[in-house]
Structure formats: C-alpha cells, structure tokens
Amino acid sequence: MARAVTTQRKAINTLIAWIVGLLIFFPILWIFILSFHSEGDAIKSPLEVITSTWTFESYATVQERSNYFRHFWNSVVISVGSTVLGLIIAVPSAWAMAFVPGKRTKDVLMWMLSTKMLPPVGVLLPIYLICQNLGLLDTRIALVFILMMINLPIIIWMLYTYFREIPGEILEAARMDGASLREEVIYVLLPMAVPGIASTLLLNIILAWNEAFWTLTLTAAKAAPLTAFIASYSSPEGLFYAKLSAASIMAIAPILIMGWFSQKQLVRGLTFGAVK
C-alpha cells in the first residue's frame, strides 16, 4: 500500500527542491544578467548591476571580435561526430558483453572505467606528439577521435547497463526465426534500447560539448570550438566580465536548449529498467 504524504510534507519538499534548484541555477542566472551590462556596470555591487541599464553591447562586441558561428559549427561537428563514432564502436562491444558474457567481462568493464581516473595531462605529451607528427594539430578530425576515445568507456558502460535489461529470450527467438547477427542487432536489439541509446547520445554530446582541456590544447584557430571561444576573453590584461559572460551564454545556449527539449527522453533513458 502506498504511503500517504501530507500536504505540509509536499509543501516542504517542494520548497527544498526550489531552493536547491535556485542554488544550482544561480551561477548561470548571474552570468546571464552580467552579459546584458557594460564592462563598467559589471564590476559594480550586485544591487547596482541589477538596477543599471541593460544593453546588448557585450553581445555585439563579442560577435564583432569573434566568428561565433565558426566556433559553434566546430563544436557541433566535434561533439556529434565523436558521440556517433563512439556509438558505432560501443554498440557491438556492449552487445557482446551483455549477451555473450565471459569470466572477465566485469574486469574489462572496470579496466575501461579506470581509464577515466587518469588525469588528462598524464597523456598530453604523447597525444600532442602523435597529432603533430600526423599533421592533425588544430583539426576537427583529431578532436573527434580523441573525445571519442575519452568518452568511449562511459558509452559502453551505459549501453551495457541498458542491454542487460533486455531479456535474452527475445534475441534467441529472433535467431530461431532465422535472423542473422546483423539483423538481430539492428532490427531487434536497437529498437528495444532506443531510450537508453538516446540518453547515452545526449549525455555524451554534452560531455564532448563542454570538454575544455583537449580543445584548448590541440586547437588554435581553425578547429577551435566554443570552449576556446570563451577562453579568448580571459587575457593577461584581466577578465572582461561582461564580454566573458556574453560569450559564455552564447556557448551554453545551444546545449541548454537541446537539454530542455530532450529532458523527457533523457530522464526516460536514465531510468530505463529501474522499475521492474
């Protein structure tokens, strides 16, 4: 029998949820406010900032100084390309681990996850030299492959978890009906795991979109994504708070909009198989 929840309890829970939500969202809100003020107003006290004149000056200056759409396109290519390439590799890998398990499956999964514990700077020099020798510095191809390899353990882990929730008897029935391995994966497994695949896709696009270490290290101008676009407004002369805030809002707006419209699919995928 379900436990009754009083109106007072609901009100307290709602209030706590709003307070936590506002605390988490406040930095983005403050950056948004600063982006609509001049540099002189941005360094004033919080109350003076809010009551001062709002203007699009910072956005206009940022667009004049930088080619926003070129950085935006680089981010789209790098994040989507690395995620799709990772899914192509991860789907058969996760299928093999979920439905043809071996004694070392858990060991392999833990080994893959352990690679995420290594600080990126630990492999910076060899990766930089490889890109330099292959002529791939400041190219989107290099970043696509590097971010794919960085996020591949997460993709495989997530897909493995979702695939484990699918009854193996369904795949066995497909084999008995004459389905080949390719048909089994494409026409039976993938349609049943669409929520999990969608959440994996969205989450890894966000991770690749926000990656800063490798994008700042391996790019200069041609392949620089929006993370490098933001960093360009931090200089030895100091921080340009208003312009930096405007650049940050322009960089995070696309991913926020995508997350807003796909939140139901993301939650559905992340809770896939949670309720038996």
What DSSP string runs through 18-37? HHHHHHHHHHHHHHHHHTTS
- 3-state DSSP assignment of residue 180: coil
Radius of gyration of the chain (CA): 23
How crowded is residue 253: how many other Cβ atoms within 10 Å of its Cβ?
13
pLDDT of residue 88: 92
pLDDT of residue 275: 46
CA–CA gap between residue 231 and residue 218 (Å, rounded):
14
Among residues 35, 60, 62, which one has the least CA distance to residue 49? 35
How crowded is residue 246: how many other Cβ atoms within 10 Å of its Cβ?
27
CA–CA gap between residue 225 and residue 214 (Å, rounded):
11
pLDDT of residue 42: 84
pLDDT of residue 1: 46
Q: Which helix (H) or strand (E) holds 235?
A: strand 234-235
pLDDT of residue 232: 80
- CATH code of the domain made up of 67-232: 1.10.3720.10
What are the residue boundaries of the structural domains of the chain, listed by start?
Answer: 7-59, 67-232
Determine the Cα angle at 159 with ends 25 and 102, to 5°: 140
pLDDT of residue 5: 66
What is the tens place of the pLDDT at every residue in 3-53? 666 788 888 989 999 999 899 889 889 999 999 988 888 888 888 888 888
Q: How far is CA 69 from CA 63, 183, 220, in A?
A: 9, 40, 16
Is-contact 58 242, C-beta < 8 A?
yes
Crossing angle of helices 194-209/241-261, nearest 10°?
A: 170
What is the tens place of the pLDDT at every residue in 88-117? 999 988 888 888 767 778 888 888 888 888
pLDDT along the chain (276 residues), means of 10: 70 91 90 89 84 88 86 94 93 86 79 85 90 91 93 90 84 83 83 84 90 89 87 70 89 86 70 52
Residue 4's contacts (CB-CB under 8 Å, 6 or more residues apart) are none
pTM above 0.85, yes or no: no
Q: Is the dihedral of CA 255, 257, 262, 267 positive or negative?
A: positive
